[in-house]
Each structure stands twice: as structure tokens, then as C-alpha cells.
Amino acid sequence: MTTIDLRALGLRPGEVRRRQIDLELDHFLLGGQRYEAVPVTVPAGLEIADVSGGTIFELAFEALLAGPCMRCLGHAEVGLAVRAREFHDPSAGPADERRSDYVADDRLDVSTWARDAIALELPEQVLCREGCAGLCPVCGKDLNAEPHEHADRELDPRWAALESLREEL
């Protein structure tokens, strides 16, 4: 877990500190599937500015997540360029939106912030490739490797009543 001790920075009002840090990325769960950062530690740029009324944090890094394709369950990778900004006012109450959830006891939890920033950058579906055909709903075979159809498919008897309605209309 990557954290920054904000007291050790000794920021005065109007000052800005820029740091290159090695950011440890936790695994990420999406749709019940686990995605790992490759590599687990990535270089990141962190900028901390003391402004009147609080502190502004800016984070920038690139990450590659690897895990299962959401259609065919094959290997998928998604590259992300993440830029995040956070404001923290230490005098604001715990439920106030001006207080950052990533700052506690004058420590900035960069790993948790990065994980949440990744969540905002992820596509709706992680796919092995654009246009992935997925798995056959009848036999479960990978339609990318073996495109096929089941013409002799028997209709589920529970749908027979609806089928007769379709014929009447």
C-alpha cells in the first residue's frame, strides 16, 4: 500500500510539491472477476498544492489490467491512462464533500485513491478484442475459435405456450 505522510512535506500556503512515486496497485474486482495490474508497481506523478482552505492532490499514471474477457472468459488486457484530482479541507466535517476520503491522520492513501480512479476509467466491459463473439449459449464453446449455430435446437417446453401465441398473432 502506498501512502504519503503529508506532515513530512512541510507545505506552506501557496507551495506545490511534485513527486515521482512507485505506486502499488491492488487487484481490482469488476463484475465478480479479478483483474490484476501488470506490473503491480507503476511509476506515478503526484502533485500536492497547499491552497487557501485546503490541499489539492493530482495523480497521474498508466496501468495495464489483465484478467478474463467478459464475453468468452479468455485472457483480456486493458490499458488505462489515469488522471485524478482530489481536494481536502482538514477543517471540514467528516461528511463534508470538501474532506477527502483518502486522507486520514495526515496520511494520503494513494493506493486506494488510485484503485477508485481506475474504476472511473474502466470501460463498461473488459474484452479480449473488439467484437468478441463470446461463448455459445447452447454448448458453451468459444464462438471466436469455433463459430457455429445450432439449427436443430429443440425448443424448451416451458416456452411452448408462448410459441402457440406467436402463431395465433
How confident is the model over 54-91, as pLDDT tens digits?
999 999 999 999 999 999 999 999 999 999 999 999 88
Q: Are 13 and 49 in contact (CB under 8 A)?
A: no
What is d(CA 9, CA 5) in angstroms, rounded to the nearest whole number? 7
Q: Are residues 49 and 95 in the same domain?
A: yes
Q: What is the mean pLDDT of the chain?
A: 90
* Domain span at 163: 133-169
Half-sphere exposure (Cβ direction) of 61: Cα atoms closer than 13 Å: 29
- Phi, psi at 6, each rounded to 5°: -70, -30
Q: Are residues 70 and 142 in the same domain?
A: no
- The H-or-E segment that residue 110 falls in is helix 110-121
pLDDT at 11: 85
Reported as a single tens digit per residue, the pLDDT across 128-157 is 999 999 999 888 999 999 998 887 667 778
pLDDT at 92: 82
Q: Are residues 152 and 123 in the same domain?
A: no
Q: Judge if the upstream peptide bond of residue 123 is cis by omega within 30 degrees of 0.
A: no
Alpha carbon 112 to its chain centroid, in Å, reads: 11
pLDDT at 153: 65
The total of structural domains in the chain comes to 2
Question: For the chain, what percent of residues have pLDDT higher than 70?
Answer: 99
